[in-house]
Amino acid sequence: MYNPTRFQENRPEVLAALMQQFPLATIVTSQDGEPCADHIPLQYIATENGNGRLIGHVARANPLWKHADGQKVLVIFQGPQAYITPNWYASKAEDPRVVPTWNYAVVHARCTLRTVSEPTALLAILRQLTDQHESSQFHPWSVDDAPADYLDKLCAAIVGIELDVHTLDGKWKVSQDKTRQNHDSLVQGLRQAGSEDQQALADMLHGYGPVENRD
């Protein structure tokens, strides 16, 4: 990933927060010599030693778990993103030398993938994933709410995956290379535009002021 210094984000807590907020990841593998991408919700778990790990599951019919077991893979988490129109630059009224761009935040995790088929361990993964995503519900659903024989049938059709994270790289392209005047006017433009992604991106820009263009 091309990642100029001014856009690099390496703070572990910031990278973890994005992965936890946007858990639908893209797992990039090589299958029979061809690049392949699968979109799998994953849960990031911090560890005392290392960069943490990711857990999830895939359909048993998905060749990912056969081709990638024990292999190094690239996992991509996409955060807020939005088109930036030149009309939002405050300087445009005096200087028309502005062009569109795209702002976004992403995390790239390089991992080693291993599979989990043992029933107790697989159920533990399902419980962790479900408890995480049900935590905001008024009446959280639990894996144990489903009949045992039904769970056994479903578990036979899936394979758990665990990914040991070797490196984490974050790219926050949020107009750090713009002047304070234009940076602030972009925040205003995004807020007025109003979509959920635009609002989230405006919050992100607000937290990142302009920096010296070093690249």
Residue-wise pLDDT tens digits, 143-199: 999 999 999 999 999 999 999 999 999 999 999 989 899 999 999 999 999 889 999
Q: Give the pLDDT score at 214.
A: 45
Q: Give the pLDDT score at 213.
A: 47
| Burial (0-12, 13-18, 19+ Cβ within 10 Å), 39 | exposed
Q: Give the pLDDT score at 35.
A: 93
Domain 5-177 fold is Pnp Oxidase; Chain A (2.30.110)
Give residue 188's region: left, alpha or beta (phi > 0; psi -120 to 50): alpha
Q: Which residues of the chain have pLDDT under 70?
A: 211-215
Q: Give the pLDDT score at 212.
A: 53
pTM check: above 0.85: yes
| Burial (0-12, 13-18, 19+ Cβ within 10 Å), 31 | middle
- Based on C-alpha coordinates, what's the Rg of the chain? 21
Q: Give the pLDDT score at 31.
A: 87
Q: Give the pLDDT score at 92.
A: 86
Q: Give the pLDDT score at 26.
A: 98
Contact (CB, 8 A) for 167 and 15: no
Both tokens of residue 124? Answer: 């533990």
